[in-house]
Structure 1
Amino acid sequence: MATVESYETKTGRRYRVRYRTPDRRQTDKRGFTTKRDAERFARTIEVSKDRGEWIDPADTRVTVGELGEWWIASRSSLKPSTLRTVESAWRVHVEPRWGPVPVSDVRFSAVEAWVAELAREKSPTTVKRAHGVLSSILASAVRDRRILANPAEGVSLPRKVAKAHVYLSHVQLHALAAASDRPALVLVLGYTGLRWGEAIGLRVKDVDTARRRIRVERNAVQITGARFEVGTPKSHKQRSVPYPAFLASLVAEQLEGKAEDDLLFPGRTGGFQPRPNLFTGDGGTRSWFTAALERAGLPKMTVHDLRHTAASLAVASGANVKAVQRMLGHASAAMTLDVYADLFDDDLEAVATSLDHAFSQTNVGRTWAECASGE
């Protein structure tokens, strides 16, 4: 049972509360200016122990920054590209604001104000990522019994507006390939839906020319500059992707004179190709992809839009959602439908047409027609 004792200081009488922790350790909290405050604290200690909610005050003093460093270090299971964005969100947005703050001092209202301030300057994606990092760190503090509840939960976040996909036609895709100095790479991306990291990580031995199949087993992610990390594809799932017969000669050209472990689409220096952003970074020079878009007279797009193009061309050719899912390496057909729901609008029209046809062939249909004509 907690007890209250008085003691003298230079500034007058003070009170301390002596109590035992749930693991039977003797401790105390001192500095109360009134006996009433000390007794109130003693009562809360006993109630929290009875409810199993007691938290050691020393544990609450750990800062968000201290927990954050541990949290980042424990994200080893994340894909390199995901880890890079998480580390960036922590370093740029979370740590500067919350690093020095003890976890027990984080308040819902303060998190809400921080999110609102971020939302005025940053995109919804950036805001959600930064909030997610802070919330995950605080969730770890709850599991470690440093705080009772996560003060970042329930904060209203900005709504993310999905970016409209860019879909190229067959003619536009071939025009882009012809305008670039990497026609085989452009067409493979536009007809197979490979992610950029999957495409640049392909080796000669990953291509089965007899079956016109590409085996996707790894993903090369650019971390910084010329540094790449090679891992498994997204969702850690390997897959086999077909390519059309008219690409056979272009793919065969990429294979000529190379050993089995050589890269299928190597960069200028023989290593992995860096992702073609808007500019190369060398004096503001346009990337090869941007330059090809301009020469082909096509709208601005990213190399990832070639993946969307592959999905669009596959659906237009009659592929069902399950086939598109397998080609793209999505975790489920539901995910494919969520991402490319607009590509399956014609299927909805086909459903209505089929129902109408089936209805007209039934007795119900004939009876309804007779009633409508008054016969």
Structure 2
Amino acid sequence: MPYPEQRGNKWRVRWNTGKKHPETGKWLYDSKGGFDTRDDAIAYGLDRESDIRNDRYISRRDGSVLMSEYCRTWQQTIRVGHLRRRNIASYIKLYIEPRWGDIAVADIRASAYRAWELWLEDQPNIGDRYRGEILLVFSMMMDDAVDDGLRQSSPVQKKKRRGQYVKTKRERKRPMLIADVHQLACNALAFWGFPGYVYVWTSVMTGMRPAELYGLRREYCTPNWPTSDPRIDPAEEARYEDDMERYAGASPMPAIRVEWQHQRAGGTGAPGLYPPKYESRRTLVVPDFVAELLEMLLASHESEWVFPSINGGALINANFTYHYWRRIADGQEAREVFSRQWRGRQQTVDSRRPLPAIPAVPGWQGKRQYLTRHGHKEWLDEDGHSRIAVETRMGHELAGVEGLYSNVTPVMERAVMASLQGRWLRFAGTLPDGWEPPPSPTPLPERFMEWLLLQVKAGKAASA
């Protein structure tokens, strides 16, 4: 039974919350004042007691937790990969806590949430996908707040029942042409050197994610792998033996083992090796021409990384998108000399890294490197490979019965190798006799030019 009390001209009501103080063992009470009559106060108290009996009650003490506090504690409860954790922390810091930090968790209303959602849509610097991620994290926080007893329901509508239908915008893409890839590889050769040339072809012919390419170590790359596999996980012993039989047995297949990606802890911390996205460790067979390029590349340097940076270090330490990819895709003017300010005076000095003019690649200007991964899937789909072979190669898992019953067989892998090799040879056959690549800022492997001439010759013979 609630307890009404008169306070001046108004009435206040107190009710037992059904909980006891953890230290004193005394019952805990909540109260609310401001009622005009005793009956109104009692009715309100009876409603709260009904909520308590039906497990719907949120005490004023619990509901008063501020979002700023909940943002900190909630992040400690989620189990996600380091990249996802970094992104979630960024969404909370930049958008969720500034808007909701001073408001109690229980006081967030659905109307206020909808207003915030519209505000995010109006921000020119927030794309559709990024906004969706922000709202998803906020929705997860509100769902967990309900489970934590901090509010009765989430202010986020799970199914929109009103408002204008807005079609989801998708990035406009054009088919990936192998002639454009060839130009990207040549630009990488002119700007970066032989590692850049092989990097582009490996990226396009495997569909690896950029961070997986940064973290590719020589022991996981053909021709070393699988013989050189460190075998660091005893639970994977059966897989190691299967790999030896499948990729280095009587009918070997050149392959890359995607075991790690190179990332920075927290986005700005020390670089380290982490499992690939979605724990998508996988083996990628490569066409013969890529295997031959990788063999020449590994013989040309002693770095632990298959693709060393311009100065010989790890690519993770370079801003690859800005310092490498934008020049490879967008091109740049010749850099024999450059201007600079020195002690208040303008100077023109010789470049420490003179480079020829690098042409822009049509269709790739301003485009992100990740689209080479999209293009790889396009090629596999065009060549009619099975879904299980394609999705496994991309590091995805097929859901349902199809994924449960399917398996990538050696026949499927050889078909992938053959189609990619055939695509390369058909293009190589279109190159003119005597064609030479652009000059490289670093020495090329001795047999690279001879190898290139043989590829063109083989391509013309295959097209005859």
**TM-score range normalised by the length of the shorter chain:** 0.7 to 0.9
Distance 1:199 1:333, change over 3 A: farther
1:151 positional shift = 0.7
Listed one character per residue, the Cα deviations across residues 232-254 of structure 1 (whole Å, up to 9, x for unaligned) are 11221311001110112210122
Q: CA RMSD in A?
A: 2.9
Query: Do residues 195 (structure 1) and 209 (structure 2) align?
Result: yes
Paired AA for residue 253 in structure 1? M
Q: Residue in 2 aligned with 1:123?
A: 127
Listed one character per residue, the Cα deviations across residues 149-168 of structure 1 (whole Å, up to 9, x for unaligned) are 00122475965312133432
Question: Residue 179 of structure 2: which of 171, 175, 178 is its match?
Answer: 171
- Unpaired runs of 5+ in structure 2? 21-26, 224-251, 333-356, 401-464
Query: Do residues 162 (structure 1) and 170 (structure 2) align?
Result: yes
In 2, distance between residues paired with 1:54 and 1:297?
63
Aligned residues of 2:13 and 2:33 also touching (Cα < 8 A)? no
Q: Residue in 2 aligned with 1:43?
A: 46
Listed one character per residue, the Cα deviations across residues 174-207 of structure 1 (whole Å, up to 9, x for unaligned) are 2210121301000000000000011111110101
1:78 positional shift = 2.1
Q: Residue in 2 aligned with 1:321?
A: 387
In 2, distance between residues paired with 1:219 and 1:45?
54
Aligned residues of 2:17 and 2:30 also touching (Cα < 8 A)? no
Aligned residues of 1:6 and 1:14 also touching (Cα < 8 A)? yes
Question: Residue 264 of structure 1: which of 306, 312, 332 is its match?
Answer: 306
Size of the alignment, in residue pairs?
326
In 1, distance between residues paired with 2:388 and 2:270?
36
Aligned residues of 1:214 and 1:243 also touching (Cα < 8 A)? yes
Distance 1:229 1:114, change over 3 A: farther
In 2, distance between residues paired with 1:160 and 1:328?
24
Q: Residue in 1 aligned with 2:13?
A: 17
SS in 2 for 1:29: strand
Percentage of pairs with the same residue:
23
Q: Residue in 2 aligned with 1:295?
A: 359
Aligned residues of 1:15 and 1:32 also touching (Cα < 8 A)? yes
In 2, distance between residues paired with 1:81 and 1:51?
41
Aligned residues of 1:184 and 1:251 also touching (Cα < 8 A)? yes
1:14 positional shift = 4.4
Paired AA for residue 18 in structure 1? R
In 1, distance between residues paired with 2:115 and 2:187?
49
Q: Residue in 2 aligned with 1:240?
A: 283
- Unpaired runs of 5+ in structure 1? 335-375
Aligned residues of 2:17 and 2:49 also touching (Cα < 8 A)? no
Distance 1:85 1:291, change over 3 A: farther
Paired AA for residue 99 in structure 1? G
Aligned residues of 1:60 and 1:102 also touching (Cα < 8 A)? yes
Question: Residue 184 of structure 1: which of 181, 185, 198 is its match?
Answer: 198
Paired AA for residue 4 in structure 1? P
1:226 positional shift = 7.5
Q: Residue in 2 aligned with 1:2?
A: 2
Query: Do residues 213 (structure 1) and 255 (structure 2) align?
Result: yes
1:313 positional shift = 2.2
Aligned residues of 1:64 and 1:99 also touching (Cα < 8 A)? yes
1:80 positional shift = 2.8
Aligned residues of 1:167 and 1:306 also touching (Cα < 8 A)? no
Distance 1:126 1:167, change over 3 A: same
SS in 2 for 1:17: strand
SS in 1 for 2:320: coil
Aligned residues of 1:15 and 1:33 also touching (Cα < 8 A)? yes
Give runs of aligned pairs for residues 50-129 of structure 1, distance below 5 A.
Answer: 50-75=53-78, 77-121=79-123, 122-129=126-133
1:257 positional shift = 6.1
Aligned residues of 1:202 and 1:263 also touching (Cα < 8 A)? yes
Aligned residues of 2:30 and 2:59 also touching (Cα < 8 A)? no
Distance 1:229 1:14, change over 3 A: farther
Listed one character per residue, the Cα deviations across residues 56-84 of structure 1 (whole Å, up to 9, x for unaligned) are 21000011221111222333x32333223
Q: TM-score scaled to structure 2, two decimals?
A: 0.64
In 2, distance between residues paired with 1:135 and 1:252?
49
Paired AA for residue 22 in structure 1? G
SS in 1 for 2:143: helix
